[in-house]
Structure 1
Amino acid sequence: MLRVHFTLEDLLKVTLAPAPAPLMELVLATAMLQQPGIDPVFSRWQQRALRTFPRAARPLLELVPPTGKGPLFLAPLSRGLEDGMDQIRSSPAAFVRAELQRVCRTGRPQTPWISRLARKDRDAWKTLQNAVRTGYNGLLAPVWERITSAYHAERAWRSHTLARHGIHSMLAGVTHGVRWREAVLEIDSREDRDIHLAGRGLTLLPSAFWADRQVIGAYPQGPAVFVYPAVTPLPLLEESSKADPVAALLGRTRTAILAMLIQQHTATDVARELDISKSSVSEHTKALRHARLIVSKRVGQAVWHTCTPLGLELIAGAPA
C-alpha cells in the first residue's frame, strides 16, 4: 500500500495539471505496449501499436518497465514536446544517475547504453532524444488533439467535484482503491511505501494511455504527481461518435467559447484565440450568461468570463 502523508500546506496545494503532459503520456504508452494480459479495452490498441512502433523509438523499451515507473527525468510535466525535450536535456546528472539506478534495481537490465546514459555520454543521449521524438510522433501525435479535448473535459468535471465536495472527496474519487485515514491518503498498490509531501503539494494528472494502478512520481523539486487512469481511455476516444450534441444545441462558436472558458479569459483573449470579432464575442457571452452557463466579472477595464458549474457539467459531458 502507498501512504501519502499530507500537511495542511499540502492540502492547500492540491491542483489539477492544466494540460496533458506529452512525455508522461509517452512513458505510460511505452509501458502499456509491454503489459501482458493488458486491460481488454487496450488489447487491440496494443497489437496495432506494437506493429507500428518505430524502430528508432525502441530504446525507450529498455528504460520503461510495464509498471510505468520509468525514470522521472524522462517524464517531465511539460506543456509540449519541445519544452519537454529541453527539460530532459537539462536534467541534473545526479538525478539522471539516481533514476537509472532505481529503474535497474526494479528489474530493467543495466545495458551498456543505459550505463552510457548515466555518464551523460553525448551519443547515448542523442539516441535517447531521437527515441523520444520518434516515439511521440508514432504513438501520440496522431491522437493528441483527441487526448487534449478529453483531458480538458475531465479537468472541468474534477474541478466541479472539488468545488462542490472538497479536496477529500475529489481525491478519494479519482479511481478505485483510494481512501483517507485522517491526513493520509491510502492507495492500493503492489509496493509498500510512505510518501511525505512535506509542503510540496500534489498535482493530479489523468492519463488516457494508462489502465493500471495509480502511479505517484516524487520529483526533486516541485509537487509530487499523482497519475491515474482517465475516465475515458484512448481506445474509447478513438471509437466515440464525432457528433456533438452540445454544438448542436449552442452552435459551434458558443460551444468553443464555453470550452475555452473552463479557464478564466477576457473577451480579447477569446476573440484572438477563436479569430472572431470582440463584438461577436460580446453577443455570445451575453447569451451564455443569460443561460447561466458563464459568469462575468469586471476588474478595472477588463471583463473576465468563466464557466459556472452548469457550464462545466455541459462541457464535461460533451464528446471529445
Structure 2
Amino acid sequence: MLRIHFTSRDLETVRIARGPDPLWEIVCSLCRLQTREGAIAFDPWRKKVGHLVRRSAVARTAASALHSLVPRAVYFPDFLTPHVEGGPATLQAGIERVLATPRRQLRHELTLLAEVGGRPWAGAQLARGDVATLTALGANLRTYHGQFIAPMWERIGATVAVDLALRTRAVVDGGTQALLNSLRPMATWEPPVLSVDYPVERDLHLRGRGLLLVPSYFCWRRPVTMADDELRPVLLYPVDKTHEALASPDALPRLLGATRAALLHEAASLAYATTSDLAEATGMSLPSVSQQLAVLRDSGLVSSRRDGKRVIHATTPLGCRLLEGA
C-alpha cells in the first residue's frame, strides 16, 4: 500500500496532466510486454510488436536495450520518466530531460537497478554519463516510440481524453476532494491521506509540493509513482479502457455497408495495420481494401500514414466512437 500524505497546501496544488506522457507510456508498455496481463486490451498490440521485433533489427535493438532498463521488478530508474515543465508532455522534451540527467542520479539509480537483479544496457558507460551512450539511449527511445507507440497514439489520446473529461467533471462538481475520490477503487481518499493499491508498503509525504496526476493508457490496474521521494511528486494511474470494447464486423453494415464496417472493425482490433494486414484479415483483395479505406479516410473514420514502403492505417477517435456506439 502507498499512503500519500497531503497538507492543506498540497490540496491547493493537485493538478492533472493535459494528456498522456510519451515516456511514461514507453516505460509502462515495456512492462506490458513482459506479462500476459490485460489480454483484451493489449494482446493485439503485443502481437504487432512481436511481428515488428522479428522483422526489424533496429526495433529489436531498441526494445532489448530499454527492456534491460525496465525489467519485470518493483523498481525502474526515475530518470526515464522526468518531469517536464509547462504544456503537454512531448517526446522530444522528455528525451532532452533524460539526456540531461545529473551524473550522480544516473549512478545512484543504475546501482539500485543492479541491486534488484537488473542488468542495464551499457550500464557502466551510462552510469558515468558517456555522451555516445546517452545519445544511443535517446535514439532507442525515439525508435521504440516511433515503432510501437506512435502508430496508436490517436487511440491513446482518445482514451485518455475520455478519462480527463470525467476527472474534470469531478473537479467542477466537487473540487479537489471529489477528484481524489474519483480514483476509486485503485485509490481511497480518507483526508489527509490517499491510500493507493501498491506492491510495497510505502509512505509519501508531499510537504507542500502538490501532486501531479498523469493518466496512462499502458499503466495497468495499479498506479505508479517515482521511486525517489525527493523528486516532483507524480501519480501515474491507468485509464479505463472498457469503452474500447468493439462491436463485431456486422454491427455497422446498414450505415457503412458490410465491407467498410468489417474494415473499420479490423483496423480497430489490430490497433494499427498495413493494407496487406487488413486484406488478410477480411479476405478482400488489396485493390478493394485500398478503395474502401479511401472512403473511410475521407469520412474521418480511419487515418493513414506512410512508413517507408508501407502505409499504416489506424481507426480515428471518431471511428472508435462509432464502433462503441454500435
By how many angstroms is 1:132 displaced? 0.5
TM-score (norm 1): 0.68
Which 10-residue stretch deviates more, 45-54 or 124-133?
45-54
Give 2:236's aligned residue: 227
Specify the code of the residue in structure 2 equivalent to 1:149. A
Q: Distance in 2 between matches of 1:202 and 1:240?
A: 41
Contact in 2 for aligned 1:217/1:224 (Cα 8 Å): yes
Q: Give the RMSD, CA atoms, in angstroms.
A: 3.0
Contact in 2 for aligned 1:74/1:88 (Cα 8 Å): yes
Specify the code of the residue in structure 2 equivalent to 1:33. L
Give 1:55's aligned residue: 60
For the residue of structure 1 that corresponds to 2:163, the secondary structure is helix
For the residue of structure 2 that corresponds to 1:198, the secondary structure is coil
By how many angstroms is 1:146 displaced? 2.2
Give 1:76's aligned residue: 82
1:1-320 equivalences under 5 Å are 1-35=1-35, 37-41=36-40, 42-53=42-53, 54-57=59-62, 58-66=64-72, 69-78=75-84, 79-109=89-119, 113-217=122-226, 223-232=232-241, 236=244
For the residue of structure 1 that corresponds to 2:218, the secondary structure is coil
Give 1:264's aligned residue: none
Quickly say closer, same or farther: Cα 1:238–1:16, change in 2 above 3 A: farther
Quickly say closer, same or farther: Cα 1:153–1:177, change in 2 above 3 A: closer
For the residue of structure 2 that corresponds to 1:179, the secondary structure is strand
> What 5-or-longer segments of structure 1 have no aligned partner?
244-314
CA deviation profile, 1:259-282 (whole Å, cap 9, x unmatched)? xxxxxxxxxxxxxxxxxxxxxxxx
Quickly say closer, same or farther: Cα 1:108–1:11, change in 2 above 3 A: same
Q: Distance in 2 between matches of 1:107 and 1:175?
A: 33
By how many angstroms is 1:2 displaced? 0.9
By how many angstroms is 1:86 displaced? 1.0
Contact in 1 for aligned 2:6/2:206 (Cα 8 Å): yes
CA deviation profile, 1:107-136 (whole Å, cap 9, x unmatched)? 31356x112211112232232112101101
Contact in 2 for aligned 1:23/1:77 (Cα 8 Å): no
> What 5-or-longer segments of structure 2 have no aligned partner?
54-58, 253-317
By how many angstroms is 1:165 displaced? 2.7
For the residue of structure 1 that corresponds to 2:118, the secondary structure is coil
TM-score (norm 2): 0.67
Aligned residues with identical type, % of pairs: 31
CA deviation profile, 1:224-274 (whole Å, cap 9, x unmatched)? 1111111127x9388899x9xxxxxxxxxxxxxxxxxxxxxxxxxxxxxxx
By how many angstroms is 1:210 displaced? 1.8
Contact in 2 for aligned 1:162/1:170 (Cα 8 Å): yes
For the residue of structure 1 that corresponds to 2:185, the secondary structure is coil
By how many angstroms is 1:174 displaced? 2.0
CA deviation profile, 1:37-81 (whole Å, cap 9, x unmatched)? 412222332233233241131200000123584212111345212
Quickly say closer, same or farther: Cα 1:206–1:237, change in 2 above 3 A: farther
Paired residue total: 245
Q: Distance in 1 between matches of 2:191 and 2:46?
A: 40
By how many angstroms is 1:192 displaced? 0.8
